[in-house]
Amino acid sequence: MATDRLIDRFGRLHNNLRISVTDRCNIRCTYCMPEQVQFLPRADLLSFEEIERFVRVATTLGITKLRLTGGEPLVRRDLPVLIEKLARIPGIVDVGLTTNGILLGPMARTLHGAGLRRINVSLDTMDPERFQRLTRRPGFEKVIEGILAAREAGFDPVKVNAVAIKGETDEDVVPLARFAREHGLELRFIEYMPLDAGNAWERGKVLYASEILELLAKEIGPLAPAPDQDPRAPAVDYDYADGGGRVGLIASVSRPFCGSCNRVRITADGKLRNCLFALDETDIRALIRGGASDLDLAVALRDSVAAKWEGHQINAANFIKPERLMHSIGG
């Protein structure tokens, strides 16, 4: 029945829950967080038991896919234990993780063994110096090691996420694509979004998906839309004509995918958000720690999704940037 599913007022069905397990991170990407940041006290984070309970409730409303994010999720102690708990929940068919890759190398096999099957690694450049400038930390070599270790551990595909910023990462598009083709990775470019700490975002800094596609076609070879597109996925996929792999383009600014969005998010401190750019939140942690029943949690989740807006309005004059930064929301 419709009442047992997460359907908003625009008829969008939600089956994808993104769970931030920490706001902490071991790098400081300029488009994500400030150099100096006050992290949440550990007691404010949802415990593994609280996360597991919320997911079990969410599955009764049709949630089938999970993605663990941060901050950097691999800094959360004993994360494979949580993954194993979540992967065993009846109704969950897919558990993924987004990481910056710095801690991935030594953990890749353990994560796969715990039941993780999809992994996305953030990497915006193939230049170590530019990597350190963008992240304000060293670690390029560790990210490369992590990506290759994930392939060795059995993750297939390994996706690489690259934020595309005009004037900063333009010259990285082709080297990233060549690296992905060489190692059998699925590369995804993400248009630069207004969630940065220094309010430095401006439309002129967005390297548009159409420009990336044109550059790849010119420098590497022609691409064609993938025949097996997922209409609810944020990326539009393209296959190289020579069979050399796939590229995804997430055009959050130039071609918003809000009309097919199937996602809901919960932050590390237990705030439920029905959109990455949401201005309102539901305090799930307060409900759980206040003795709420599973029915209470289900009602809160259903109500949050029901109230979801039509879209994030990045391209509208009345767009309001959320107070939370990217690391605090969950990627």
Q: What are the tens digits of pLDDT across the range 41-66?
A: 999 999 999 999 999 999 999 999 99
Single-letter amino acid code for the residue at 253: V
Q: How confident is the model at residue 2 (pLDDT cuts 50, 70, 90)?
A: very low
What is the reported pLDDT for 326? Answer: 63
Q: How confident is the model at residue 253 (pLDDT cuts 50, 70, 90)?
A: confident
Residue 59, CA atoms < 13 Å, CB-side half-sphere: 18
What is the reported pLDDT for 1? Answer: 32
Most confident of 190-199, 229-238, 297-306: 297-306
pLDDT at 327 over 80: no
SS3 33: coil
pLDDT at 83 over 90: yes
Length of the chain: 331
Alpha-carbon span 291 to 54, nearest angstrom: 13
Q: How confident is the model at residue 321 (pLDDT cuts 50, 70, 90)?
A: low
**Cα–Cα separations (whole angstroms), residue 203 to 171, 214, 236, 285, 325:** 19, 19, 21, 36, 18
Alpha-carbon span 26 to 268, nearest angstrom: 16
Q: Smallest Cα–Cα separation from 21: which of 64, 82, 63?
A: 82
Q: Could you tell me which residues come within 8 angstroms of residue 16 by beta carbon, excluding any fewer than 6 positions away? A: 63, 64, 65, 66, 67, 262, 263, 264
Q: Smallest Cα–Cα separation from 266: which of 292, 240, 304, 235?
A: 304
Calculate the average pLDDT of the chain. Answer: 92
What is the reported pLDDT for 203? Answer: 79
pLDDT at 12 over 80: yes
**Cα–Cα separations (whole angstroms), residue 123 to 30, 147, 164:** 13, 10, 10
What is the reported pLDDT for 254? Answer: 83
Q: Smallest Cα–Cα separation from 77: which of 106, 54, 48?
A: 48
Beta bridge partners of 265: 18, 273
Alpha-carbon span 170 to 329, nearest angstrom: 27
Judged by average pLDDT, the poorest of 92-106, 264-278, 311-325 is 311-325
Q: What are the tens digits of pLDDT across the range 166-216?
A: 999 999 999 999 999 999 999 999 998 766 666 666 778 889 999 999 999
**Which domains are present in the chain?**
2-329 (3.20.20.70)
Q: Smallest Cα–Cα separation from 327: which of 92, 20, 117?
A: 20
Residue 28, CA atoms < 13 Å, CB-side half-sphere: 12
User: 32 or 7: whose pLDDT is higher?
Assistant: 7
> Which pTM value belongs to this model?
0.93
Alpha-carbon span 190 to 187, nearest angstrom: 10
